[in-house]
Amino acid sequence: MGLWSPLSVNFPSFLPKLLLGIMLFLAFLKIDALEVLENIRNFRLMIYIASVYMLAIPLVFFFTARIFNAELAVGILLLTAMPAGVSTPVLTDIAKGNISLSMSLTIVSQLLAPFTVPLLFSLVNINSLTINKLLILRDIAMLVFLPMIISQIIKRYIPAVIAHTQHLFTSANVFLLFAFVYVAISSQRFVILENTSGLIWKIAVLYLVFIMLHVIGYLICFKQNKENRIAVAIGAAYMNNGMAIVLAVSYFKPEILVLMVLSEIPWNTLLAPFSKVVRQLKT
């Protein structure tokens, strides 16, 4: 719908962030903030997963893709270097995974991103990328911590209301996620339609990348329970590609920007088949 019938009016620039904030607020109402902090306190697990997320996966994908196409390799490095998206707890909720672990991984990876992303591009001799650390920290505060704090305050004062309406939150987040994606695709519609050459093979490559990220994410913590493995897999596969689009606009060629926008397609279509597959798995 974002491609075929985009928004005909200019929406406020804060609208995508507002939608994400509401989604996270509803997701936080279903968890205890103390569980999130407890997961972050598991330093060994957090360091292991963050190292795989933020360093190992991007480098392996980059050097593999560079064998076939150098420009594609740069785009895949940028995409896979992004932290877990702020909407991953919502997606984890939909897939019946561990929401608190997902939130912990999101916070840790977002905090590490200002340091790991420039490091990665330095390691592969791409030194043109700089990141405003304060801007990222501000977004974390607005999109992660603020909804978390407000939700926990509301849970404390009206626990009965939350308990009786909790079953509606996941369905509400599905519609909010649709609205967020629709806004994002509508805003970048001209980028996709004005660069139609080679879109099919790029989309095919992106689907392969995202499928591999699901599999790798699910397997890297093979000793964890199923709910935790789902959370880790979603954190690996559903990165903050909105941040990737912003960086591509600022520092890279239009071809890289198109790749980042096209990543919205597998990003938004693979959750349902992934959820169906993991439901069939016993462990």
User: What is the per-residue DSSP string for 66-98?
Assistant: HTT-HHHHHHHHHHHTSPBPTTHHHHHHHTT--
> Is the separation of the CB atoms in 113 and 50 below 8 Å?
no
Residue extents of the structural domains in the chain: 15-280
Please state, in angstroms and rounded to a whole number, the distance separating the CA atoms of residues 26 and 24: 5
Report the CATH number of the 15-280 domain.
1.20.1530.20
Helices (H), the chain: 15-28, 33-40, 43-51, 57-66, 70-80, 88-94, 99-123, 133-140, 146-157, 159-165, 169-187, 189-193, 199-219, 226-237, 241-251, 254-262, 264-269, 271-280
Please state, in angstroms and rounded to a whole number, the distance separating the CA atoms of residues 258 and 245: 9
How does pLDDT run along the chain (283 residues), one tens digit per residue?
A: 887 888 777 777 677 778 878 887 887 787 766 666 676 777 888 889 999 999 999 999 999 999 988 888 989 999 999 988 877 888 998 898 998 888 888 888 887 888 888 888 888 876 555 555 566 667 667 777 788 788 888 988 888 888 888 888 878 888 887 887 788 777 777 777 776 667 788 899 999 999 999 999 999 988 888 999 999 999 999 998 877 877 777 777 777 878 888 898 899 899 999 999 998 887 6
